[in-house]
């Protein structure tokens, strides 16, 4: 960590700050610049109270040097991790494809979708049973009944099951039916939930919060890894910016950036990332060309009748066409799309 002193800092301020640094167990190295003094604090930065050094008289700012996460870092594990959960493989040359409806609405809806996406080459079926909804007046999900339908879809198609868990109390129940526990963007910093998923043996799919920095996101992953669950997939799903023509802004540079910082696999959600059906095919292709280890796409038999997210769902036909073009891009990248 580098502690930058103000240009008005006195010799006494500098000494006192150095002492405070050493009280935290770090070594203080003073460097006298032409306009200011900086103090390099050498040692383990990831300790409580570091940031409060900014309150020392004469301190201007504190610049961290090492990443705040450990277990998720490439420093700890230089080679990339491949996530394998039944039919769903993300990494090591395979681009996993998770597809299905936003909400499970009925047996007919889910089963027809599972068959269709399987036929087009998807690796896993997704569907929401417990739904976190912005409005209390929106459809809240079929709950356990929905989970049973997901298990039925796996039974018939062999597809791995991905579904969201919204509360630590539900982790056990959801884990009974699902292969992958999705933590939604709104719950990225719900630490009790992260801890509960950290104790599960199911794969975790951790979506990025819409205003989370990369460090905050990887620290959320760190909670899961720290709990003992080593199978974590990251998912970029768009951030909140001033742009309003898309529901979120999908920053694909996240993919190569994150791949340098962490060994965990990263997939992209072009459905939430754009919020418009007509943008999903192009952004699915672009995600793969950017090097993503997978995509997660909303598919619905009748988007204009969907109880949620119809505006960003693909029909079966649109999904089939998207998969065809994505397969060509994956091959150009010398990767394979899906697991079959």
DSSP state letters, 30-52: EEE-SS-EEEEEES---STTGGG
Should residue 46 be labelled a site residue for a copy of itself when binding is judged by CB under 8 A? yes
Should residue 15 be labelled a site residue for a copy of itself when binding is judged by CB under 8 A? no
Residues 260 to 279 in contact with a copy of itself, rule: CB under 8 A: 260, 273-274, 276-279
Question: Binding a copy of itself by CB under 8 A: which of 10, 282, 317, 324?
Answer: 282
In contact, 176 and 161? CB cutoff 8 Å: no
Residues 285 to 304 in contact with a copy of itself, rule: CB under 8 A: 285-291, 303-304
Characterize the bridge pairing of strands 59-63 and 2-5.
antiparallel
In contact, 289 and 331? CB cutoff 8 Å: no
Count of residues in contact with a copy of itself, rule CB under 8 A = 109
Should residue 80 be labelled a site residue for a copy of itself when binding is judged by CB under 8 A? no
> Tell me, what DSSP letter sits at residue 207?
E
The single residue listed with the structure tokens 């199978």 is 231
Tell me how far apart the alpha carbons of residues 196 and 35 are, in angstroms, rounded to a whole number: 50
Question: Binding a copy of itself by CB under 8 A: which of 77, 115, 133, 143?
Answer: 133
In angstroms, what CA-CA distances link 202 with 44, 152, 292?
32, 18, 22
Question: Binding a copy of itself by CB under 8 A: which of 22, 47, 145, 317?
Answer: 47
* DSSP bridge pairs for 59: 5
What would the two tokens of residue 328 be?
Answer: 């060509």
Residues 159 to 188 in contact with a copy of itself, rule: CB under 8 A: 166-169, 186-187
Residues 86 to 115 in contact with a copy of itself, rule: CB under 8 A: none
CB of residue 330 to a copy of itself, shortest distance in Å = 9
Q: With respect to a copy of itself, which residue has the nearer C-beta, 89 or 221?
A: 221
Phi, psi (degrees; rounded to nearest 5) at 17:
-65, -45
Should residue 20 be labelled a site residue for a copy of itself when binding is judged by CB under 8 A? yes
Tell me how far apart the alpha carbons of residues 185 and 164 are, in angstroms, rounded to a whole number: 10
What would the two tokens of residue 286 be?
Answer: 């672009």
Residues 301 to 330 in contact with a copy of itself, rule: CB under 8 A: 303-311, 313, 325, 328-329
For the CA atoms of 254, 191, 51, 255, what is the dihedral angle to 10 degrees?
Answer: -10
Should residue 79 be labelled a site residue for a copy of itself when binding is judged by CB under 8 A? no
Should residue 336 be labelled a site residue for a copy of itself when binding is judged by CB under 8 A? no
Should residue 229 be labelled a site residue for a copy of itself when binding is judged by CB under 8 A? no
Question: Binding a copy of itself by CB under 8 A: which of 106, 230, 246, 336?
Answer: 246
Q: With respect to a copy of itself, which residue has the nearer C-beta, 117 or 326?
A: 326
Q: How many CB atoms lie within 10 A of CB 127?
A: 29
Should residue 72 be labelled a site residue for a copy of itself when binding is judged by CB under 8 A? no
CB of residue 152 to a copy of itself, shortest distance in Å = 24
Question: Binding a copy of itself by CB under 8 A: which of 87, 91, 150, 223?
Answer: 223
Tell me how far apart the alpha carbons of residues 123 and 82 are, in angstroms, rounded to a whole number: 15
CB of residue 315 to a copy of itself, shortest distance in Å = 9
Question: Binding a copy of itself by CB under 8 A: which of 156, 172, 191, 317?
Answer: 191
């Amino acid at each position: 960590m580098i502690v930058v002193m103000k240009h008005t800092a006195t010799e006494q301020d500098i000494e006192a700050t150095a002492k405070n640094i050493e009280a935290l167990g770090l070594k203080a190295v003073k460097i006298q610049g032409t306009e200011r003094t900086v103090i390099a604090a050498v040692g383990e930065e990831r300790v409580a109270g570091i940031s409060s050094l900014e309150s020392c008289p004469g301190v201007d700012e504190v610049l961290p040097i090492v990443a705040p996460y450990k277990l998720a870092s490439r420093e700890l594990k230089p080679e990339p991790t491949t996530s394998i959960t039944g039919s769903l493989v993300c990494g090591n040359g395979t681009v996993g494809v998770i597809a299905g409806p936003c909400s499970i609405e009925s047996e007919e809806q889910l089963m027809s979708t599972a068959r269709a996406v399987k036929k087009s080459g998807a690796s896993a079926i997704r569907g929401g049973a417990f739904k976190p909804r912005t409005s209390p007046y929106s459809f809240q999900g079929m709950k356990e009944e929905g989970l049973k339908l997901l298990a039925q879809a796996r039974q018939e198609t062999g597809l791995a099951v991905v579904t969201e868990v919204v509360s630590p109390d539900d982790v056990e129940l959801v884990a009974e039916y699902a292969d992958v526990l999705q933590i939604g963007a709104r719950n990225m910093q719900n630490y009790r939930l992260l801890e509960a998923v950290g104790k599960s043996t199911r794969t975790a799919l951790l979506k990025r919060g819409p205003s989370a920095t990369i460090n905050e996101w990887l620290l959320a992953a760190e909670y899961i890894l720290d709990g003992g669950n080593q199978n974590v997939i990251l998912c970029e799903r768009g951030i909140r910016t001033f742009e309003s023509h898309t529901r979120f802004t999908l920053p694909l540079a996240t993919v190569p950036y994150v791949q340098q910082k962490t060994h965990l696999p990263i997939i992209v959600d072009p459905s939430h990332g754009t919020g418009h059906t007509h943008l999903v095919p192009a952004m699915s292709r672009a995600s793969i060309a950017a090097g993503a280890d997978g995509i997660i796409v909303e598919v619905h038999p009748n988007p204009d009748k969907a109880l949620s997210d119809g505006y960003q769902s693909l029909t079966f036909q649109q999904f089939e066409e998207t998969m065809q073009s994505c397969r060509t891009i994956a091959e150009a990248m010398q990767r394979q799309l899906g697991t079959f």
